[in-house]
Every structure is written in structure tokens, then in C-alpha cells.
Amino acid sequence: MLATRVIQGHGVHVEGVNFFTGFCVEGHTHAIRNRKHEKPKRNNALWVAEQLGIKLHIIDISEDYKDIVLNPRHGYGQNLNPCLDCKIFMVGKALELGLIDDLDFDFVITGEVIGQRPKSQRRETMPVIARESGANDRLLRPLSALHLPPTLPEREGWVNREQLFGFHGRNRKPQMALAEKFGFSDYAQPAGGCCFLTDETYSNKLRDLWDARDSRDYQLDDIMLLKIGRHIRPKPHFKLIIGREEGENRFLAGYRKRFTHLSVTDHPGPLALIDGNLDTTDTQLAARIVARYSQGRDADKVLVTVSSASGVSQDIEVVPMAPHQLEPSWHVGS
Ligand code: SF4
């Protein structure tokens, strides 16, 4: 918001680009879960564009982005977040968009601030992003520009370097003061995670998926499902994805035609998908685990319906698993 407003102040026409990677927290988990929100649900990218009065391009890069997640040339951050490669990729895509769609843009801006993030926003990484994205001196960071060599828009006088900023470090007070000056009272909180790849539990679940399949690969549905439910792997060849509340159960129900699924019939309870293949003993085990998360957890016996993806169902009666029987190591991600 700040970088855009600064550059708009130089009389430059700015448009926004929001990339959908498949790992975005925004617009997914928040939309699915039934949690009570004080604030109305909103898509922050759209909301920001509206505040700034700019056009927003929402681009699905999830397919191409796979290679960034699987093979980051610059490695991962603390979890499976390939931030440096990700930024290089996104700046390159933004540049491409300006040319391919004949939008005739002259340069790309980002809100990066030197030293704000330990891995991807260091002084040394700034030129790497500019160079490897192909943007070179067409990449301007208005908030830290005074710590960086003059870029093309500054040299050409499209923007006035003297009116750019020299923010650096983790202290966000100067940015907050600028936000106040611009009249921005509502904005995303600095520490708010917007990408599941920075999340430890999520990254562990993704690693577990790769290990279980013996392949470092994923489909869009895989990474969507990692955001949802309790993941329990009692045996290496299958795991359960168990809805934690009504919104998640509804979301998981959308996958009923693709996964074997279980639900408790005689008590309120969750829907669970099976990722993997079950034999008869596995089915009993899975049903007992699902029963444990139903309101019949204290009953002697619970009726569980097991349905195949093709719609063939069978009802089985099981004893709900006692809490101490549920091995902590079965909980994927924790
Ligand atoms: S947090 Fe996620 S979206 Fe942001 S730069 Fe890192 S990998 Fe990319």
C-alpha cells in the first residue's frame, strides 16, 4: 500500500498484481472455517486495490510455481518457504505481464524493505532479485530506494529519487508513520502470515506427503487438503483427513467422489477422507479413529459408514479409540 501510494504521488499510473500460488492463506482457510469473525471476511488483495483505487490483476501461477517449491535454487527459509526464489519468480512474472498483455508498463515496484526479513529482504538479496528476475534496473523499491543504486525510473526522472525513502531493518515505525500520513488506518498486520509455506506444521505435512508417496511432487488438491482438518497417519500407507468443524466437513465433502470417506452414522461427528488404500484391518482402525472424534467417543459402540469413491458403502460397528491409544506420532505435522 505504501509503495503504491508513494509512486502514485509521482504521477505514475500503478496497477497491482496478486499471485495465487496455491499456498495462500488468504481467501481459503478464512473462507472455509466457521470461526466467528469480528471483522467481515474479505479478500485483502481486492480490498487493498480498492483502497488505493488501482486495478488488480489476479494471476494463477500455481502450476509454474511448483518448480519453485520443489527445486528452489536459493534454498528454503525456516520452513518450506522458498522466499528468495519466490520473489524472483513473481517479479519476473509481473514484468512479463506488463509486456505480454500489452499493458505497456515501464517498471515494477515492490514494497520490500532492506533488512525486514532475515532471508529474502537482505541488502545482498535485493540485487539478486533484480538480476535473476530479468527486471534489473526496472525494479524499484520505493521504501528502501535510498539505500540502493538509482534505477531506470529514477534516472529517467519518471520518479523523483529525492522523494523516495530509505527505510531499513525490522523496525516498522517509519512505515506506520507513513501509513498514518497517507490516512491508512486499516492494513494487514506486519506479522500476519499470508503463506502456508512459512508455517511449520504445514511444511511438516507437505514433507509427510512426499515421504508417504516416495515422490517430491504435489497436485493443487493435495496442497489444498493440507490446509484442512486433522491429518492422522496411523500406518505409512494411509492417512485420515478429519474435519474439525462444520465448514471443514463441508469442504471435505466436495472430495467424496475422489476418496474413500468415513462418517459416524449414529452420532454427530466429522467427515474423514482416506488418503491411501485400506485393507480390512485398516478400515476398522480408521473407523475407530473417526469415532473417537465424534460425539459418540464415550459410547461402547459407534456405527461408522465407510464409502468408497465410487459410492459403495458399508456400515461397521466399532469401539471408539481411547485417547491414550492414539499415538502422538500419528498426528501429521505436529
Ligand atoms: S512467504 Fe510465501 S509468498 Fe511470501 S515470499 Fe515467501 S514463499 Fe513467497
Which atom in ligand 1 lies closest to the alpha carbon of residue 120? 5
Helix (H, G, I), strand (E, B) or coil at 104: coil
Higher pLDDT, 182 or 24: 182
87 lines ligand 1 (CB under 6 A): yes
Q: Does residue 36 sit in the same domain as residue 160?
A: yes
Q: Which domain holds residue 239?
A: 228-330
Which residue from 69, 78, 198 has its CB within 8 A of the most atoms of ligand 1, so it is best to mutate?
198
* Residues 58 and 152 grouped into a single domain: yes
Are residues 139 and 49 part of one domain? yes
Q: Where are the alpha helices (DSSP H) in 110-226?
A: 125-132, 152-155, 173-182, 200-213, 220-225
Ligand 1, atom 1, residue with closest C-alpha: 195
| Strand-pair partners of 261 | 273, 307
Dihedral sign, Cα of residue 187, residue 192, residue 198, residue 201: negative
pLDDT, one tens digit per residue, over 228-286 is 999 999 999 999 999 999 999 999 999 999 999 999 999 999 999 999 999 989 999 99
pLDDT at 257: 97
- Give the pLDDT confidence of 61-101 residue by residue, as tens digits: 999 999 999 999 999 999 999 999 999 999 999 999 987 76
Instruction: State whether 236 and 175 are in the same domain.
Output: no
In a domain, 86, yes or no: yes
Question: Is the beta carbon of 82 within 6 A of some atom in ligand 1?
Answer: yes
Q: Residues 136-140: what's their mean pLDDT?
A: 97
pLDDT tens digits, residue range 113-128?
999 877 778 889 999 9
Cβ(308) – ligand 1 distance below 6 Å: no
- In angstroms, the first-to-last Cα distance of the chain is 35
Q: Do 135 and 254 fall within a single domain?
A: no
Q: Residue 3's pLDDT is what?
A: 98
Q: State whether the beta carbon of 86 lies less than 6 angstroms from ligand 1.
A: yes
Whether residue 165 is found in the same domain as residue 270: no
- 61, 76, 117, 197: which to mutate for ligand 1, most atoms within 8 A of CB? 197
Do 102 and 241 share a domain, yes or no? no
Same domain, 166 and 248: no
Answer yes or no: is 325 within a domain.
Answer: yes
Pocket of ligand 1 contains residue 83 by CB under 6 Å: yes
- Split into its structural domains, the chain has a count of 2
Q: How far apart are CA 333 and CA 204, in angstroms?
A: 5
Residues 190 and 234 grouped into a single domain: no
Residues 62 and 175 in one domain: yes
317/176 same-domain check: no
In the listed set 195, 216, 251, which residue is the last one of a domain according to the structure? Answer: 195
Which residue of 87, 110, 206 sits with most ligand 1 atoms within 8 Å of its CB, as the best mutation to test the pocket?
87
Confidence of residue 186 (pLDDT cuts 50, 70, 90): confident
